[in-house]
Structure 1
Amino acid sequence: MCCCCNCSNLTKKVWSFVGVVLIFGLAAFFGFGLPAIVESVARSEFIMEPGSQVYDNWLTSEVPKYLDIYVWDWKNPESITNENVRPQFVERGPYVFLEDHERHDIEFNTDHSITFRQKRTWTYIPEQSKGDFYTDRVTTPHTMLMTIAKLVGGGNPALVSQLNAIIKKNNLLDGIVYKDALVRDILFDGAEDRLLAAVQILAGAIPELAAGMDIPDWDGFAYFADRNTSVEYDGIFRMGTGTDQWTDSGLLRTWNNESTVPHFRGECGKVHGSTGQVNPPMTSQQIKNPEDFILFITDVCSAFSLKYDQDVEFGGVDGKAWIGDDRVFDNGNNYLETECQCTAPVAECPAVKPGVLDLSGCKFGAPLLASFPHFYLADPSYVSALDGPKPTRELHEFRYVMHPFSGIPLEVNGRLQYNLHVSDYGLEATEGLPDITLPVFWVNQRVTLTQEKIDDLRALDTLRSAGIYTGYALLGVGIIALGVALYFSIFVWKDSKINV
């Protein structure tokens, strides 16, 4: 039954336009108001304060993190001085570890930042590994020899002569390698290193020997020595909480109470970006035009600028992917902005070919160089000098995928390789060695968001998009209703003429 059949034409016109206004009002609410409400409520969960979802996940994450370690086994070290024979390496692993993070010494500051330490614990997972971490053996370059030779070899001739005599007299070396060392020892427990033990004793008696070198107090040499379960090793972090502005959530302000690192110059030495575990949600403009993603990596004492690659779908939610490109380890060879990564005097830069980063200032003076695994994206000369590395994008790319609205990482493959620069540094033990970069090991720090967390993000995206789509639908209905109302008002609901 018509509720307004007996109404005047003017009343019909008024009610029809009131209905149109209500439809447009609902369209505006669902298209703008509801998404804004959802966004406001969601943003409150993406700041770092007790009780928020992001803080609770950061404090005790239910998402498993893994560290895959691949070790390079040097098969022909005895031929290193033969220019006709390339060093041959065989990749061992992966040795897979579950990586657990605990936060310690948490303190909220008055400048909307949080200070903390973190403890990383690695637990071996034999069923996911290839080989046996406890019994496998490898031959790997002697890092302590190269470190000491680099720091001492070109210095005081009397000191060099004295050190040569001590090494020879006390039989401190078995060539230039750790030969047949257990993988567990060379990575975590400490491989026998008579040279390191002697230098620890001699440092007090020969001050020049310790000058410029941070001699570790390890019982044997290991690349992850004193790191497993250490609260102190990773340093002190201070990052924004986002309580003043959510775009600051998770962004580093200082590391070890400094806003810069001394190992790199200018912009390359800045402590900035995120650690990859907490990221600020992206703004609408950033979602439309993604910029570089800045990731600060303590293991290399530096921030990486990852390049936006593409939009991806991950587990039913939309994500954005960033990758490490050839700028990351360029050193000013091809990109002017990377010149500050060069650690040599400015006049000598670039000092190395593109594809590696000098870590000596970050790693107790050792001539260690970081690269992508298998020298992926590096100058071809690094691969052509060796027998073994075979770089491919699928296996060796550094990749970070993030949910843009929340800043939550969906999938991470943080792949990095650590190499040793071998050269004739001036000691008898390094005499005749070629100038060459040898691979030691590489890692993949990987994270994949659990399906339960993905479902939560999908529900959030659905709620936001449902309001927008409903708004568009109501807008269409409103336009049609406006057209109908205008038609009836002009051609149907005409006022009757009054005859006098």
Structure 2
Amino acid sequence: MGCCNRSCGLIAGIAIGAALALLGGILFPVGDNLIVESVLEEAVIQNGTPTYENWLTQGGGTLRQFWFFDVQNAREVVEEGATPVVVEKGPYSYWTRYLPKMTVKFNPNDTVSYSILNEAVFEPLYSSGTEMDVISTLNLAVAYNYTFDGPYNIFTGKDDVTKVGTIDKWRRSRTLDFWNDTYCNMINGTDGSNFAPYVDATKPLYFFSSDICRSVSASYERSLELKGIPVYRFTLLASTLASPLENPDNHCYCRDLETTKNCSMAGVLDISSCQKGQPIYISLPHFLHGSPSLLESVKGLKPILDEHDTYLQVEPMTGITLGFSKKIQVNMMYGPSKVITVLKKVNSSTIFPLVWMNESAELDDESATMLKMALVDSITMLDVIRKLLLGVGLFIFALCLILYIVVRCKGKRIV
């Protein structure tokens, strides 16, 4: 009777072990499917989803910092036509985009419209000077405060989650009218705050930047962690502002053959067509990735990739941008003039750097904790549970099976 009880107990153990291992095995595909369904549902921009909350208000706001180029030899430039020598002065920092998106309206075609207020508040804590500092440069008014960006109209992803955040219209139009070319006037991708879930690191991310009046793409650079959350870092490639000779896609951004030396100049973008005709050129700070002639025409510049590149840090499952640093430089073209007295001594046209800006934001600690609990910790817990069930189940199954075989063998020898 004792041997029978022992055998029955071991058989029960084998059954329990097999059941636990089977449950653990089932949880792998089933659990993954549940996670996918949950992520796809919460990626939609609608009331109650984490994506909506992150999209509506960027926790902590955005820090916009300015570095001005102070001309050290202004008299020599004007009187003798000398090469400008500049010294970077800054940063001067402002909190912006800390208010929720404005005039938010959900539309019947599964889109949502909104505008962004560019209100800025000076932040002395992150500034090296005051707003009263005097800087010698070309006279160009650069105003950002109390202006509006938009209106935007984007897809919510409700009907097709792969389209979430994709811009349908900007300023009530599906195309731009700055470039006199269908390709360059395309509005591609999102506004950069979020992308479709399950980001593919092998494919570029497309987004539209109203600051430079065009769409751009960012490519995967590396994986890292931001406050305990795994993210993909995407950066702009050097080809973004390359000359049309290096990147034919940029042919329609070349507008002035003389200034761009027959479209051979790299690193600058003429945006005068979207700045009321002002001779404004956009580049990366210190003419990063620019033609050598840009650095030769102004002394004191030193491009450094790690300091001057633009990047996005995107959580790959949800597609939400958790951190970013958008860096651009505003330049102005000046040259010989018989009308403007101070430019009579200038020998050649020069694209002169006025100021460079770093607009950056990062997920605040409270939001990071909530996202980590909802996403990272839950996935980790599920992974631990299913591996534990599978491991313990297989262990119990194997142990009880071995003991059962041993008991059976001993029983036969006794008989």
TM band (smaller chain): 0.7 to 0.9
The aligned residue for residue 163 of structure 1 is none
The aligned residue for residue 142 of structure 2 is 223
The aligned residue for residue 303 of structure 1 is 215
Deviation at 1:428, TM superposition (A): 5.7
| Inter-partner Cα distance in structure 2 for 1:256 and 1:104 | 14
The 5-angstrom pairing of residues 128-277 of structure 1 reads 128-133=126-131, 135-141=132-138, 178=139, 222-224=141-143, 227-230=144-147, 233-264=148-179, 265-277=181-193
The aligned residue for residue 242 of structure 2 is 330
The structure 2 residue matched to 1:113, chosen from 82, 98, 111, is: 111
> Is the alpha carbon distance of 1:266 and 1:21 closer, same or farther for their aligned partners in structure 2, counting shifts above 3 Å?
farther
Deviation at 1:379, TM superposition (A): 1.5
| Inter-partner Cα distance in structure 1 for 2:406 and 2:250 | 72
| Inter-partner Cα distance in structure 1 for 2:48 and 2:72 | 54
| Inter-partner Cα distance in structure 1 for 2:189 and 2:239 | 17
Number of aligned residue pairs: 405
CA contact (8 A) 2:219 2:237 kept: yes
| Inter-partner Cα distance in structure 2 for 1:477 and 1:257 | 60
> Is the deviation greater in 236-245 or in 14-23?
14-23
The aligned residue for residue 201 of structure 1 is none
The aligned residue for residue 74 of structure 1 is 71
Q: Say which one has the larger Rg.
A: 1
> Is the partner of 1:44 in helix, strand or coil?
helix
Unaligned runs of 5+ in 1: 142-177, 179-185, 187-221
Q: Which amino acid aligns with 1:104?
A: M
Q: Which amino acid aligns with 1:223?
A: V
TM-score normalised to the size of structure 2?
0.86
CA contact (8 A) 2:232 2:313 kept: yes
2:34 equivalent to 1:37: yes
| Inter-partner Cα distance in structure 2 for 1:349 and 1:40 | 53
> Is the partner of 1:260 in helix, strand or coil?
coil
> Is the alpha carbon distance of 1:14 and 1:267 closer, same or farther for their aligned partners in structure 2, counting shifts above 3 Å?
farther
| Inter-partner Cα distance in structure 2 for 1:17 and 1:336 | 67
TM-score normalised to the size of structure 1?
0.72
Q: Which amino acid aligns with 2:193?
A: Q
| Inter-partner Cα distance in structure 2 for 1:12 and 1:140 | 89
CA contact (8 A) 1:424 1:435 kept: yes
Q: Which amino acid aligns with 1:72?
A: F
Q: Which amino acid aligns with 2:53?
A: D
| Inter-partner Cα distance in structure 2 for 1:126 and 1:393 | 27
> Is the partner of 1:140 in helix, strand or coil?
coil
The aligned residue for residue 441 of structure 1 is 355
Q: Deviations along 1:445-477, whole A, 9 cap, x unmatched?
A: 011211122222322212112212332343344
The 5-angstrom pairing of residues 21-100 of structure 1 reads 21-80=18-77, 85-100=82-97
The structure 2 residue matched to 1:125, chosen from 107, 123, 126, is: 123
Q: Which amino acid aligns with 2:363?
A: L
Deviation at 1:372, TM superposition (A): 0.7
CA contact (8 A) 1:416 1:444 kept: yes
CA contact (8 A) 1:237 1:256 kept: yes
Give the CA RMSD over aligned residues: 3.1
Q: Which amino acid aligns with 1:376?
A: L
Identity across the alignment (%) = 22
The 5-angstrom pairing of residues 285-364 of structure 1 reads 286=200, 289-343=201-255, 351-364=263-276
Q: Which amino acid aligns with 1:448?
A: E
Q: Which amino acid aligns with 2:170?
A: W
> Is the partner of 1:235 in helix, strand or coil?
strand
Q: Which amino acid aligns with 1:25?
A: L
CA contact (8 A) 2:314 2:320 kept: yes
> Is the deviation greater in 82-91 or in 454-463?
82-91
The aligned residue for residue 368 of structure 2 is 454
> Is the partner of 2:313 in helix, strand or coil?
strand
| Inter-partner Cα distance in structure 2 for 1:485 and 1:127 | 67
Q: Deviations along 1:195-240, whole A, 9 cap, x unmatched?
A: xxxxxxxxxxxxxxxxxxxxxxxxxxx211xx4223xx31220111
Unaligned runs of 5+ in 2: none
The aligned residue for residue 414 of structure 1 is 326
CA contact (8 A) 1:73 1:89 kept: yes
Q: Deviations along 1:383-439, whole A, 9 cap, x unmatched?
A: 122112111123212122122223333322111001112234775655554121100
> Is the alpha carbon distance of 1:341 and 1:427 closer, same or farther for their aligned partners in structure 2, counting shifts above 3 Å?
same
